[in-house]
Structure 1
Amino acid sequence: MPIPESAEGRRIYEEDRAHVFHSWSAQNALDPLVITRTEGSRVWDADGKGYLDFSSQLVFTNLGHQHPRVVEAIRDQAAALCTIAPAHANGARSEAARLVAERLPDGFDKVFFTNGGAEAVENAIRMARLYTGRYKVLSFFRGYHGATQQAINVTGDHRRWPNDYGASGVVHVHGPFLYRTQFHATTEDEERDRALEHLESTIRFEDPDAFAAIIVETIPGTAGVMPPPPGYLQGVREICDRYGIVMILDEVMVGFGRTGAWFALDNYGVVPDLVTFAKGVNSGYVPLGGVGISRPIAEFFGDRPYPGGLTYSGHPLACAAAVATIKAMVDERAVEHAARLGEEILAPGLARIAARHPSVGEVRGLGAFFALDLVKNPVTREELSPYGSSNAAIGAVLAACRDDGLLVFNNYHRIHLAPPLNTTEEEVREALAILDRALEVADSYVETSAGGTRDEPVLEGVPA
């Protein structure tokens, strides 16, 4: 993308390139967009060009940018009490913990605050190991849990590979994903049953008495928005109960309204033992994450110290932002609005788009959380961009979106749509129109002589 034309934009860009070391990137290849203003579902670059933000950045601005109630709460908290050590009680932290616990399943009365999702995962695993007296942890390929030492090693995508020095005790399995099935399944029921059989077989061969925890994203997000088939999470719950394993649901990306429910687990009627959260809890305005703790595990630490903590655990500014975010979501009915956007606009709109574009192999999602699986070959389902990389084809599609004023979340061959939960219907239709045009670029890369018959694109995860 071009370097900003404005003097201030150029200064920001040049200082970034000179001094900022970016995550997940080859530094010399970076060409970052300079953002200088945000509001609601839109952001503006240094030259004044506006974009619809359908990435919610890294899927965290659930209430959009610069929400006045959240900004005011941070300002008021800073004026009253900027910071205090975790050992002291304060009003913002106490109220944030109460509001989070009220939205977790019955029996979740305690919340341990962290600075983000990866630290929440680290501490949830530590709690499970201490509670069970066991060490092994089972996680899923196509899962992502963060970039700290333990979190990256329970992660199941290729980003783990260069960091895989601490994988002792971590076992990975395949989860259900019918579109790219590992189990030669032809129906959701077959995929569910075979995935559960694979999971339990792995546990048996790895020693059931060795496993402290199973950690799973309720709906895998970064890996492609893959809602599990009906009954799968209940099956995981039953396996955990059978072998005395702690069930951890990672709700870092999908919690706080993203799927049209307060937590994605609410869509599936499953109750885990620990829940990790972050991102949408305060729309990412100040870093905050945490672990929701079920009563038996909380009581285990009632008379024995929990050996873990963070300097900024439950930071007052972050917790004040969480309180304001949750209360605003209630008052504005943001969760219900997200569910309606998914059912009435995003799902049918994306289905129509998929029917027009041979590059769209599958559409998956619910609420304000969708992904398009883009393919080079609609018969073989070969990805538009190979696993673990981005090529010129997907780069051209993303550029077409950006040039037309739309920012999307991208991972390899997929385009993810995750707008703020309070995005208007008109903004969603505007974004879909831009996406429709951009997919003509993707279509130009589709092989036309593959032979066979293309499967009709399907929409997964939306309730019938």
Structure 2
Amino acid sequence: MATTAQSKAEIIKQKSVKYNLQSWSKQGGLNPIAVEKAEGIYYWDYDGNRYSDMSAQLVNLNLGHGNKEIVEAIKEQADQYCYMGPSFAVESRADLAEMVIGLMPDNFGKVFFTNAGADANENAIKMARMFTGRKKVFSRYRSYHGSTFGAGNLTGEPRRYPLEPGIPGFVKFFDPYLYREQIQFESEQAAAAYYVAKLREQICYEGPDSIAAIVLETITGSNGVIIPPDGYLQGVRKICDEFGIMMICDEVMAGFGRTGKMFAFEHWDIKPDIVTFAKGVTCGYVQLGGVAVSKEIAAYFDDHFLSCGLTYSGHPLACAAGVACVRYYGEHNILENVNKVGKVLGEELEAMKAKHACVGDVRYIGLFAAIELVKDKASREPLVSYGGDPKGVMGKIVGMLKEKRFMTYSHENMVLVCPPLIITEEQIREELAKMDEVLGTVDKEML
């Protein structure tokens, strides 16, 4: 007797809840969607309900579901062979490394591939410490760099707490968050100068000769799409040059077209020393991350032992997917679409900010956006307190969006809007109309 779609979905959900531990969740009462198929910006459950993927899963599915060019590249590699260790010369691995370096500034030389973003950041700080001979690493409070032990110590927000007391030598500082700042700056440049000066002062007190690296999400991601004021990243670059500190840009979320440029640091015309990436390099079709390093760092390891190694570093299937993705970005003018549709996204979000009492701020660049929800626009009091949401307010809002098949996630008092980069103007307007309706309900029932 054939299994019906409904019973199959129930079997899948029951097994999932019984045997899988789901990340970032209390395990009791979970009710995951059993997904039957996916294509473009949509996926469907076994009852035929269509959901719009407005967070590109975990802000990684840049080219959407079911991209046949990526799938075919994986199949071709699988037909040749599925795996060769990192010490072998593999065509897809060599091609992708060349392509990645070709996308980087002219001071970059080589790539070390990893499995994802967290271990990219782990290996980046290892390389910076080996290269400089120093131990301390600076990162920001409003940051997320991964949840493994090293990346979790880089992380500044509450997801680092289970790792504490943590590793000595990890130092935190605040990034420019002008919406929440008590000081009213006369310009972005003035704000940037203030934050850069405070960072430099802290570095002097920590001992510049002890600091290996400053690690920054070029644009703070899940913690609110916080876009640095003009002059800030340039100022950090100058500090790094002054003291011989490595500037590491975490482009795991912002990289590969998300912001309208291939990498977010390009908006400020800076050249980092190290860039970490993942997510959009393969769009989740096979997991892959990487650490791109300057020519100077690459040359250092010609004569010094590189104490980094992963069994699946530069997995051939992942690299084949990466080659297909990077080609697709260029051949299908994805950056052009991001900038065109991103303009519509920005206009719609600004209209919501003007219309809704619950919207304190909207921040967006390309197709990377967050809506910050507040109890009161004048006081800017967050809709939920920092570090917790005991009444589950944000969960209810995400749930209301889910009822309209608008799928995304929230963090603190922010709702993320980060759809696949292939989304059309028509699709973005259709989906944001759902957001508009939900925000109207928040105005009436939650303030």
TM bucket (normalised to shorter chain) is over 0.9
Question: Unpaired segments of 5 or more residues in structure 2?
Answer: none
Is contact 1:377-1:446 (8 Å) kept? no
Would you say how many aligned residue pairs link Structure 1 and Structure 2? 443
Is contact 1:375-1:446 (8 Å) kept? no
Q: CA deviation at 1:188?
A: 2.4
Question: 381-390 or 208-217, which moves further after superposition?
Answer: 381-390
1:376 is matched with 375
- String of CA shifts for 1:208-232, please: whole Å, max 9, x gaps: 1110000000000011001100010
SS at match of 1:301: helix
The reply on whether 1:207 has 2:184 as its aligned counterpart is no
Is contact 2:107-2:271 (8 Å) kept? no
Q: Which amino acid is the alignment partner of residue 87 of structure 1?
A: S
Q: Distance in 1 between matches of 2:140 and 2:71?
A: 37
Q: CA deviation at 1:238?
A: 0.3
Q: CA deviation at 1:446?
A: 5.3
Q: CA deviation at 1:164?
A: 1.6
Q: CA deviation at 1:81?
A: 1.3
The reply on whether 1:167 has 2:167 as its aligned counterpart is yes
Q: Which amino acid is the alignment partner of residue 240 of structure 1?
A: C
1:41 is matched with 41
Question: 329-338 or 4-13, which moves further after superposition?
Answer: 4-13
Q: Which amino acid is the alignment partner of residue 385 of structure 1?
A: V
Q: CA deviation at 1:5?
A: 8.4
Task: Give aligned-pair identity as a percent.
Answer: 44
Is contact 1:153-1:167 (8 Å) kept? yes
Q: Which amino acid is the alignment partner of residue 443 of structure 1?
A: D
Question: 111-120 or 166-175, which moves further after superposition?
Answer: 166-175
Q: Which amino acid is the alignment partner of residue 105 of structure 2?
A: P
2:81 is matched with 81
2:360 is matched with 361
Is contact 1:358-1:446 (8 Å) kept? no
1:265 is matched with 265
Question: Unpaired segments of 5 or more residues in structure 1?
Answer: 448-464
In structure 2, the CA distance between the partners of 1:319 and 1:5, relative to structure 1 (3 Å rule), is: closer
1:220-235 alignment, distance < 5 Å: 220-235=220-235
Q: Distance in 2 between matches of 1:269 and 1:48?
A: 46
1:396 is matched with 396
1:92 is matched with 92
Q: Distance in 2 between matches of 1:401 and 1:320?
A: 36
Q: CA deviation at 1:395?
A: 2.2
- String of CA shifts for 1:57-102, please: whole Å, max 9, x gaps: 0000000011010011111111111111110011000111111111
Question: 47-56 or 314-323, which moves further after superposition?
Answer: 47-56
> C-alpha root-mean-square deviation of aligned residues, in Å?
1.4
Is contact 2:193-2:231 (8 Å) kept? no
Q: Distance in 2 between matches of 1:445 and 1:167?
A: 44
- String of CA shifts for 1:277-312, please: whole Å, max 9, x gaps: 000001111010000110110000012220111000
Q: Distance in 1 between matches of 2:42 and 2:384?
A: 28
Q: So what's the TM-score if we normalise by structure 2?
A: 0.97
Q: Distance in 2 between matches of 1:38 and 1:164?
A: 39
SS at match of 1:247: strand
1:460 is matched with none
Is contact 1:376-1:445 (8 Å) kept? no
SS at match of 2:408: strand
Q: CA deviation at 1:272?
A: 0.6
2:118 is matched with 118
1:182-197 alignment, distance < 5 Å: 185=185, 187-197=187-197
Q: Which amino acid is the alignment partner of residue 331 of structure 2?
A: D
In structure 2, the CA distance between the partners of 1:427 and 1:399, relative to structure 1 (3 Å rule), is: same
SS at match of 2:373: strand
Q: CA deviation at 1:336?
A: 1.5
Runs ≥4 residues deviating over 6 A: none
SS at match of 2:302: coil
Q: Distance in 1 between matches of 2:209 and 2:445?
A: 50
Is contact 1:124-1:291 (8 Å) kept? yes
Question: 225-234 or 36-45, which moves further after superposition?
Answer: 36-45
Q: Which amino acid is the alignment partner of residue 191 of structure 1?
A: A
- String of CA shifts for 1:158-211, please: whole Å, max 9, x gaps: 111121233310010001010011656464233212211111111111111110
1:294 is matched with 294
Q: CA deviation at 1:27?
A: 1.1
Q: Distance in 1 between matches of 2:397 and 2:259?
A: 26
- String of CA shifts for 1:337-392, please: whole Å, max 9, x gaps: 1111112x101111112111111100101111011001112121111122223443
Q: Distance in 1 between matches of 2:185 and 2:161?
A: 28
Q: CA deviation at 1:443?
A: 1.0
